Amino acid sequence: MVLAYPSQRVAYPYFVVALFLFILQVIVGIWLASSYAFTMPQGLVDILPFSTTRAIHTNLLVLWLLLGFMGSTYFMVPEETERDLFSPTLAYVQLALLVGTGVAALTGFVFGWTKGRPLLEIPHPLDYLVVGGALIFLLNIGMTMLRARRWTVTQGSLLGGLVFLAVMYLFNLPFYANLSIDWYYWWWVIHLWVEGAWELVAAALTAWILMKITGVPRETVEKWLYVELGLFLFTGIAGTGHHYYWLGAPKYWLWVGGFFSALEPVPIILMLVDAWHYIQNRRGQLNGRLVFTFATGMAILHLVGAGFWGFAHTLPPINYYTHGSQVTVAHGHIAFFGAYVLLNLMFFYYAMPKLKGLASYDERRGTLAFWWLSLAMLGMTLAFSVAGVLQTYVERVMGLGYMTAQAQMRFWFTILAVLGLTLLAGVVLTVVDLLTLRPAPPAKASA
Amino acid sequence: MSAKAAKWIFYLGTLISLVLFLGLTVDTHRQIKTLTHTDKLSEQVVAGKRVWQKYNCNDCHTILGFGSYYAPDMTKVYWRRGSEGIKAVVRTPERFTTWRKMPHLGLTDLELQDLVAFLQWVSEIDTQDWPPQDQKLRAAAGRAVALGVSPGATLFQEKGCFACHRLYGTGGMLGPELTHVGSRRTYETIERILTDPRSVNPQATMPTPPLSHEERDELGRFLAGMK
């Protein structure tokens, strides 16, 4: 028996749905890149405008990452609390509710049913169902932890992050009459998710995996977890100000946002150093080479994407020219990939073999998938960045007009469509591999 | 580092950032009234914002630099196109686009009025001079328009002439540059073009601008003076 607690099994359908949505997200992404590169006929644009497919692309991203987090949480919490889940049935109900809401929302987008706020397009009353799903989830996890009464810092960070995440979503519910205030609170959802709540969840899941695969003692891992969380929140909360430079807010946000967000790479560097340190000081054999590869890749690309690409345009004098250009898109893609896509995949590669009752598995396809995905995404990031620099220079510095700049960028979007197809092949490889894991070949096992 | 010190970093780090952030949020709410001149935030502007959201404009266009990057930023579109220009693009996008298309959204006339009111209100938000490209436009157009020195110049902006024509290098690319039009065309010719664009050039694709007799006279005198 590889599963320590039977209720961990609820994670499996979460992972499967998440992986399926990941494939869909990338397919829609290729369509978006093609819409930039080629001329779509007016008749088609009238029926299926870019705005609709863009809403689908981003909502699929959020949905699959969150389902991945939830599945991972359901897998981790029983082992961490040493107790089965409060209610596995409720976990299935929650999944059905969220997936049903997701399907309704995505279908609705095609027919123009939308709240019309980027990334948060899910309209009333579907957004209340999302809240309902989140509440069921928090209840299930919270009750499991309460009944177990075995509090750890890792659990605290996870639960704290999840509650923080759910609370921030509430700022999406009202209608804001003032556009500036609308965007002010839009960032409470988006920024405080990805640079706050999600980082807490990510730090907890990563700390737990590192404890599992390296055998480094809990006291060490959790001590540094405190420091990381403190730095994430110190830089991340006030760092929200780097979105407030040009939206009609007071000028001091240029200083506050610039200062705190410039420090945002610090906790990510610390995370990388910690991971490296634990792996150097591991006790015995590394328990799962591929999971280690994903963990290292995540730590590095998290730093590259969120850290370096974020820092590159966070200071006001630069952001004045790059704000709202493809530079943002480059940063968005590599940051989400490095921080959260690889986190989910790392966790899936840790948990999937156990869910399938495998003590060890053939890691060759998975290793190939890791490199394929990461290199394709790095290529895409560079293409977006070139397009972004062109846009910044031609449109903003020279003032030659939006479409003149877009014409210069067209070539790079053709490249992006091709790289997107490459990424898709990597995603399919990953999903197929995760769903059909095979036992390690005997020759390799004895070596 | 001791475990105790680690906990202190966590609690202090979080608390300092949180207190600062919430404090500045309160102050921002106070100042935003002036920065976004909420006294002009009329019911029509709010209705226009609902139109903006209803048609999901923000998933192609950015506004205040946020949203999707597929189409031009709308923060200062009112400066660039004026109310008639905005209406013309939304009604007949195919006339203003070449290789990247905008859908026919089918707004009612009332929705269009509200949307323009919303975009006009947005254009007056104090964005610390962002975006740079429109600041350039304002500086250029400002020589003729923004100071309101001439009613004809204001009409040029209001009636959306910038959508196709350029003054001082800024504006649309579909029609000819008009910075020195006064040295090429007389007042009489310009007035004939404004009455019926094809009367001078039978191949002209320019639509007949919606102008009253007095407006045509003002705009004609303004353009004839551009030498």
* B127-147 pLDDT tens trace: 999 999 888 766 665 555 544
Cα–chain-centroid distance for residue A360?
27
Residue B21 has its nearest CB partner, among A175, A238, A326, at A238
pLDDT tens, residue by residue, A112-168:
999 999 999 999 999 999 999 999 999 999 999 999 999 999 999 999 999 999 999
Residue A323 has its nearest CB partner, among B41, B53, B65, at B65
**Distance (Å) from the C-alpha of residue A205 to the closest C-alpha of chain B?**
18
Q: Which two tokens stand for residue A187?
A: 């960032």
pLDDT tens, residue by residue, A281-307:
888 777 788 999 999 999 999 999 999
Least confident of A94-108, A208-222, A339-353: A208-222
Whether A230 has its CB under 8 Å from any CB of chain B: the answer is yes
Q: Report the DSSP beta bridge partners of residue B167.
A: B170
**B130: amino acid identity, one letter:** W
The C-alpha atoms of residue A346 and residue A363 are separated, in whole angstroms, by: 13
Q: Are the beta carbons of A179 and B63 closer than 8 angstroms?
A: yes
Cα–chain-centroid distance for residue A351?
18
pLDDT at B143: 57
Whether A322 has its CB under 8 Å from any CB of chain B: the answer is no
- Measuring CA to CA, how many Å separate B3 from each of A31, A223, A306? 50, 5, 28
pLDDT tens, residue by residue, A18-54:
999 999 999 999 999 999 999 999 999 999 999 999 9
pLDDT at A118: 97
pLDDT tens, residue by residue, A312-347:
999 999 999 999 999 999 999 999 999 999 999 999
Residue A248 has its nearest CB partner, among B36, B46, B69, at B36
Residues of chain A with pLDDT > 70, as a percent, come to 99
The C-alpha atoms of residue A336 and residue A329 are separated, in whole angstroms, by: 11
Residues of A in contact with B24 (CB under 8 A): 241, 250, 252-253, 256
Average pLDDT estimate for A55-67? 98
Identify how many contiguous H helices and E strands chain B contains and give both numbers: 9, 4
Indicate the domain borders of chain B.
38-127, 131-227
Q: Are the beta carbons of A262 and A318 closer than 8 angstroms?
A: no
- Measuring CA to CA, how many Å separate A154 from each of A72, A343, A428, B13? 13, 16, 32, 18
Q: Which two tokens stand for residue A279?
A: 């792996």
The pLDDT confidence band at residue A86, using thresholds 50, 70 and 90, is: very high
CATH fold, domain B38-127, is Cytochrome Bc1 Complex; Chain D, domain 2 (1.10.760)
pLDDT tens, residue by residue, A413-423:
999 999 999 99
Count of Cβ atoms closer than 10 Å to residue A343 Cβ: 27
Q: What is the ipTM of this complex?
A: 0.95
**Distance (Å) from the C-alpha of residue B113 to the closest C-alpha of chain A?**
17
Q: Which two tokens stand for residue A309?
A: 């690409």
pLDDT at A395: 93
DSSP H helices in A193-217: 198-214
Residue A147 has, within 13 A of its CA and on its CB side, a CA count of: 14
3-state secondary structure of A439: strand
Identify how many contiguous H helices and E strands chain A contains and give both numbers: 19, 0
**Distance (Å) from the C-alpha of residue B27 to the closest C-alpha of chain A?**
9
Whether A183 has its CB under 8 Å from any CB of chain B: the answer is yes
The C-alpha atoms of residue B180 and residue B99 are separated, in whole angstroms, by: 29
Whether B23 has its CB under 8 Å from any CB of chain A: the answer is no
A441 backbone dihedrals φ, ψ, rounded to 5° = -65, 140
**Distance (Å) from the C-alpha of residue B57 to the closest C-alpha of chain A?**
7
Given a cut of 60, whether residue A349 has pLDDT beyond it is yes
Average pLDDT estimate for A198-210? 94
pLDDT tens, residue by residue, A228-253:
999 999 999 999 999 999 999 999 99
Count of Cβ atoms closer than 10 Å to residue A264 Cβ: 22
Is pLDDT larger for residue A447 or for residue A360? A360
What tens-digit pLDDT sequence spans chain B (227 residues)? Answer: 888 999 999 999 999 999 999 999 999 999 999 999 999 999 999 999 999 999 999 999 999 999 999 999 999 999 888 888 899 899 999 988 889 999 999 999 999 999 999 999 999 999 999 999 888 766 665 555 544 557 888 888 788 888 788 887 777 777 888 989 999 999 999 999 999 998 988 888 888 888 889 999 989 988 998 88
Residue B133 has its nearest CB partner, among A177, A178, A395, at A395
Whether A397 has its CB under 8 Å from any CB of chain B: the answer is yes
B residues 81-100 near A, CB within 8 Å?
94, 98-100
How does B60-96 read in b/e, with b if 16+ C-beta sit within 10 Å? bbbbbbbbbbbbbbbbbbbbbbbbbbbbbbbeebeeb
A374 backbone dihedrals φ, ψ, rounded to 5° = -65, -40
Whether B35 has its CB under 8 Å from any CB of chain A: the answer is yes
- Strand extents, DSSP E, A245-297: none
Q: Are the beta carbons of B69 and A325 closer than 8 angstroms?
A: yes
The C-alpha atoms of residue A158 and residue A141 are separated, in whole angstroms, by: 10
Inspect the interface and report whether the beta carbons of A51 and B57 lie closer than 8 Å.
Answer: yes
Assess if CATH 1.10.760.10 describes domain B131-227: yes
pLDDT at A180: 98
Given a cut of 60, whether residue A445 has pLDDT beyond it is no
pLDDT at A256: 97
Is pLDDT larger for residue A85 or for residue A446? A85
**A73: amino acid identity, one letter:** T
Residues of B in contact with A241 (CB under 8 A): 21, 24
A residues 143-172 near B, CB within 8 Å?
none
Count of Cβ atoms closer than 10 Å to residue B4 Cβ: 10
Reference A413, options A123, A46, A66, A37; nearest CA is: A37
Reference A11, options A285, A205, A275, A258; nearest CA is: A205
Cα–chain-centroid distance for residue A265?
17
Q: Are the beta carbons of A437 and A352 closer than 8 angstroms?
A: yes
Residues of B in contact with A258 (CB under 8 A): none
